Structure 1
């Protein structure tokens, strides 16, 4: 469904209070605290202590700019990024673009279903395959809430899960606080050898998830406050993005600090299972259980958001709306197949992140081009400073993802 672009006549409508605008960025922020991020940040802290804190700070700043631009495109045009692309690409190009986006959606679901299945295995010793099925069924229930037109209720559920994720991943820091002086020193950009460069590239290069970029431009137009005037909505969206991505940044930094406190130098902590075992040994069963609950919430929330994004991508590019049940099954099957064949979960997570890397330029580059184009954005097109900042961010993210793909393909990873 094509949404009506915003017009000058809407500027006279009453302005809702700020809290009415909060929500879309919190759903997008789930992409930044998914199981893949958990694995990457724990690995960084366990191997290099506080050294790579600065990478997370830089990643978070990049994410804020990218997600704001996605929301801005949706607010100003009244269309999602896939819809804008769908109107400007030829049919063969649209289909090819959709195909790569669909592969990215499947890779996203792979990481998130596997992470949720791991959490159920850690909590209840449920076999990974059945854990993946349970995650898929529960996420479908969450999607049914959204598809029934209860956007605010869906947002409330996702925010609640985000709170659970935050508590689950940060609880250990209240038991054993990090070395704050060492944390501050980690803000100084530096590396600890060649291997740490690769880890940093993985952390930064995989920060911006393609599905979150596509989806945020949809979320702002599905929001109940979408009819307010454009300038006011943009100001409120900046606050929404700041709060949501700041929370995601705190969670990711907390994971790294938790690993630096309890896991540094420990063996076997380069897998989620190994990290959980080390947390159990260092903090006790209560904190280990809370961590696993946070991982479960991460898997449930992120796989729901990923399937939602896949539906919007198909609608925008192919002008086809497929029932969410079908969408859920299509993207769930590859993850279940991998779990059924007994592939090592953390290795599967790594491969999924490499696949995601292929899709990032296809989302980032058009977004930067469209939001700077006055023909599309009118007077809200990006100013000179924002164009430069956005261009640098896009260049860094794309270059790091190319490096990550190259290093993985050549065996350096």
Structure 2
């Protein structure tokens, strides 16, 4: 190996050592749901919800910061729940939350299947590809942690490049774009979509994972907290900018063309072709495939950790019990075609509605538990939340609950009415 190549490899290794964990967290939230919820937001509401993207990213960052502090100064979030509430209630909470993870996986494997089917020219339907995707996700998720972390870093940086390239030629109106970063009365007509943006960005599985995996990075002392925060800053900036780029492209290009909703999985790509050419559709669909697959693994690691922890069994990645729970629950993804047919939901419906389900039902529960944990004197001691952090944490809790209450009826109507 040449000296130059060795230097590049050393630089990449150093980058992964410093910033890898948060990229796993961001990869988990930035799936096909993020791509299509951001696209739907731009198509339906223009730039109106740009503030929600930024707000969700900031709240997600702050929640992850609290989760990291919990893991460094106290213990993992589910262990805290078990110690405070007892095993039966902790297991009930873990199982309830895990339903959301499985729902996410069902939508994500469908997105990969539909994207690959399109790139193959329809030669193979999305349903069998979704089954194969489930198997592939299990195989990747069982790899060594460092290997998965490096995959996530590469995928997220690639997605940033892809969607910024797609957004750059859109030429949005500067005034309207700037107003989109300020909440207005128009925002109240888009609360269900805002809940989806929050639910797919301030991702509740990460509240648990961050508190578990900080030890994987060797961050166990107070002096390690700045490194954890730099890690979160870089990764959430990548995720937030990518989401903003998608919303801007949809609002600037698709909405003026008369699109009011995403009628099919390929609507954004096909519309982009009319303006930017075939390359835009290939990049868009390829990005969806990468984002969807990227999310499955860390999301499904969560039940593999929290269910045993709730039952009083501390597991490590690679343990037999961890692997069995991960493979078993991820394997439910093979039923994605059945869910689609039974509920009369398209792929787009699933990749938007299932993250929304998590934003409405699971996020408030996880946010309350995190708020409790980082304020518990016995667990955190002198490192518990101060007044400023409590204001942020309280904002996350209140926003999650308010959005859930205000949007649950619309969500139920979409699920029972066959989607958008």
- Is TM > 0.5 for Structure 1 vs Structure 2? yes
* 1:120 pairs with 2:111: no
Match of 1:253 among 219, 235, 244: 244
* 1:49 pairs with 2:46: yes
Shift of 1:19: 6.5
Q: Work out the CA distance in 2 between the residues paired with 1:173 and 1:409.
A: 33
Structure 1 counterpart of 2:210: 216
Secondary structure at the aligned position of 2:44 is classed as helix
Secondary structure at the aligned position of 2:98 is classed as helix
Q: Work out the CA distance in 1 between the residues paired with 2:327 and 2:191.
A: 41
161-170 vs 17-26, greater mean Cα deviation? 17-26
Conserved? CA contact 1:165–1:293, under 8 Å? no
Match of 2:153 among 159, 162, 171: 159
Conserved? CA contact 2:130–2:334, under 8 Å? no
Q: Work out the CA distance in 1 between the residues paired with 2:185 and 2:164.
A: 25
- Match runs of 1:141-156 below 5 Å: 141-146=139-144, 151-156=145-150
Match of 1:207 among 201, 219, 235: 201
Q: Work out the CA distance in 1 between the residues paired with 2:236 and 2:401.
A: 20
Q: Work out the CA distance in 2 between the residues paired with 1:18 and 1:373.
A: 34
Structure 2 counterpart of 1:238: 229
Alignment root-mean-square deviation, CA: 2.4
* 1:275 pairs with 2:275: no
Shift of 1:339: 4.6
Q: Work out the CA distance in 2 between the residues paired with 1:201 and 1:328.
A: 25
Structure 1 counterpart of 2:165: 171
Conserved? CA contact 1:116–1:295, under 8 Å? yes
Q: Work out the CA distance in 2 between the residues paired with 1:396 and 1:43.
A: 21
**Taking structure 1 as reference, are residues 200 and 329 closer, same or farther at Cα in structure 2, changes over 3 Å only?**
closer
Structure 1 counterpart of 2:410: 407
* 1:84 pairs with 2:71: no
Conserved? CA contact 1:117–1:131, under 8 Å? yes
Q: List gaps (5 residues or longer) in structure 2.
A: 1-13, 314-320
Q: Work out the CA distance in 2 between the residues paired with 1:375 and 1:145.
A: 36
Secondary structure at the aligned position of 1:23 is classed as helix
Structure 2 counterpart of 1:362: 365
**Taking structure 1 as reference, are residues 197 and 336 closer, same or farther at Cα in structure 2, changes over 3 Å only?**
closer
- Moved segments of 4+, more than 6 Å: none
Secondary structure at the aligned position of 1:399 is classed as helix
Shift of 1:118: 2.2
> How many residues of Structure 1 are paired with residues of Structure 2 in the alignment?
389
Q: Work out the CA distance in 1 between the residues paired with 2:337 and 2:330.
A: 10
**Taking structure 1 as reference, are residues 268 and 49 closer, same or farther at Cα in structure 2, changes over 3 Å only?**
closer
- Match runs of 1:8-407 below 5 Å: 20-77=17-74, 79-124=75-120, 125=122, 126-146=124-144, 151-192=145-186, 195-223=189-217, 225-227=218-220, 230-265=221-256, 266-267=258-259, 269-271=261-263, 272-319=265-312, 321-324=321-324, 326-339=327-340, 343-356=345-358, 357-407=360-410
Conserved? CA contact 1:30–1:302, under 8 Å? yes
Structure 2 counterpart of 1:8: none
Shift of 1:330: 4.0
Shift of 1:268: 6.3
Conserved? CA contact 1:119–1:296, under 8 Å? yes
**Taking structure 1 as reference, are residues 390 and 153 closer, same or farther at Cα in structure 2, changes over 3 Å only?**
same
Q: Work out the CA distance in 1 between the residues paired with 2:126 and 2:340.
A: 6
Q: Work out the CA distance in 1 between the residues paired with 2:64 and 2:234.
A: 12
Q: Work out the CA distance in 1 between the residues paired with 2:165 and 2:132.
A: 26
136-145 vs 33-42, greater mean Cα deviation? 136-145
Q: Work out the CA distance in 1 between the residues paired with 2:36 and 2:151.
A: 24
**Taking structure 1 as reference, are residues 268 and 52 closer, same or farther at Cα in structure 2, changes over 3 Å only?**
closer
TM-score normalised by the chain length of structure 2: 0.85
TM-score normalised by the chain length of structure 1: 0.87
